[in-house]
Amino acid sequence: MSDEELKSIVAEVVTAPDPFWIENAFYIVKRIVEMPDGTETTIAALVRDDTKPYTNFLFEMNAIVTEVCKRIGIELDKSKYAEQFLGMPFNIPFVKKSDILKR
């Protein structure tokens, strides 16, 4: 998938056509796409250092990134922590699993 195709999908998911949201979501999804299957991380850990994220930003970004990944066939598997109270959804570790559309 090209960067343009991925950016187009991100733009469809972002509710307001705001370049700030599109660029930040694209950056996070691109990092997820590039990591190997089985990698464990969080949405909060993938945010650009220069973004200075705040809680509402992270909630919204978590929803956008999760939906974009679902559309391109990547699962952000949080099942390892399903029965635990870990705090905010963007801080819950996920494991990248690709090709969920082929399963």
pLDDT digits (tens, 9 = 90+) for 14-73: 987 789 899 999 999 999 999 999 999 999 999 988 777 788 888 999 999 999 999 999
Higher pLDDT, 31 or 83: 31
Would the CA dihedral through 55, 95, 38, 103 be positive or negative? negative
Would you say how long the chain is, in residues?
A: 103
Where is pLDDT greater, at 91 or 62? 62
What is the band of 103 on the pLDDT scale with cuts at 50, 70, 90? very low
Report the candidate in 1, 84, 89, 8 with the shortest Cα–Cα distance to residue 42.
89
Nearest-angstrom CA–CA distance, 79 and 63: 17
The whole model's pTM is what? Answer: 0.87
> Cβ(100)–Cβ(73) under 8 Å?
yes
Rounded to a whole number of angstroms, the distance between the first and last alpha carbons of the chain is 19
3-state secondary structure of 98: strand
Which of the two residues, 78 and 100, has the higher pLDDT score? 78
pLDDT at 77: 93
